[in-house]
Amino acid sequence: MSTTPKTILITGASSGLGAEMARQFAERGSDLALAARRTERLEELRAEILAAYPTCRIAIRALDVQDHAAVFTVFDELNAELGRIDRVVVNAGLGKGAKLGTGRFDANLETAMTNFVGALAQTEAAMQIFRAQEAGHLVMVSSMSAMRGMPSSMTTYAATKAGVAHLAEGLRTELHGTKLQKKIKVTVLYPGYIASEMNEKVAQSTPLMASTAKGVAAMVAAIEKEVGDACVPPLPWAAMAPVMKHAPLGVVKKLL
């Protein structure tokens, strides 16, 4: 379990959940390595955090996770600049998507490449650092949609989130019973509806939407506990997880 401030690398940190995680980890005394495509947003976030926490060390880099070579370069540069990366939060992602077979393969491909292949590159880069220092904490941001195949425009997105969850869980299985089990931790987060730029349209249609601050607080709490996996916020999502996994399709469709 986390007991001391850490140096945390967060991708997709320019807005939404990533930016709020940066704020909340800074409040806890952590140093930050922040990466995203929109560097102007990162500059604004760094200035905001430093105004509140002047002793926080913050390194930023432009990063498109579809540029796989850049993922490795940026992770190594941030590790060198800050002297160490203790935790990597694989957060960058897209919410694009369309019904399969409706002529929008381009949107589904972009989501698949960003959310799964991009996450694979980040996991590879993070684990190279962690294996070298024989310590670290990988945090994979999945989604409650990973619990079951989702319909319509959510199909590809949900599949990518199931994929990254299995990627991280497979890594945890590999480490189990080895000398690195207690030194390298793996956490999978399954966020429900948490307000962000990605789901602004959803916010108008569900009463289950948590505020960004509240939802991210639940994420940060689970990360700090270094749990294997967590549905966040716990209420109502921990209770809904088995229903989403095992209920008949007709029941699941009514819940969506």
Instruction: Give pLDDT < 50 ranges for the chain.
Output: 202-204
User: Can you name the residues that pair with 34 across neighbouring β-strands?
Assistant: 10, 60
Beta bridge partners of 185: 137
In angstroms, what CA-CA distances link 155 with 25, 92, 174, 232?
Answer: 32, 19, 29, 21
Q: Tell me what pLDDT residue 161 has.
A: 98
Six-digit token string for 59: 């390194």
Alpha-helical regions (H) of the chain: 16-27, 39-52, 68-82, 105-112, 118-133, 155-175, 212-225, 234-246, 249-255
Burial group, residue 28, by CB count within 10 angstroms (0-12, 13-18, 19+) = middle
How many angstroms separate the CA atoms of 9 and 161, rounded?
A: 20
Q: Which two tokens stand for residue 46?
A: 């760094």
Q: Rounded to the nearest 10 degrees, what angle do helices 16-27 and 39-52 cross at?
A: 20
Q: Which residues are catalytic?
A: 157
Instruction: Classify domain 7-255 at the CATH topology level.
Output: Rossmann fold (3.40.50)
Per DSSP, helices labelled H in 83-211 are 105-112, 118-133, 155-175
Three-state DSSP state, 234: helix
pLDDT at 203: 46
Contact, 108 vs 94, CB < 8 A? Answer: no
What is the pLDDT, as a whole number, of residue 223?
97
Domain locations in the chain as residue ranges:
7-255
Say how many residues make up the chain: 256
Closest Cα partner for 70 from 32, 125, 111?
125
> What is the gyration radius of the CA atoms in the chain, in angstroms?
18
**pLDDT reported for residue 201:** 55
Question: pTM of the predicted model, to two decimals?
Answer: 0.94
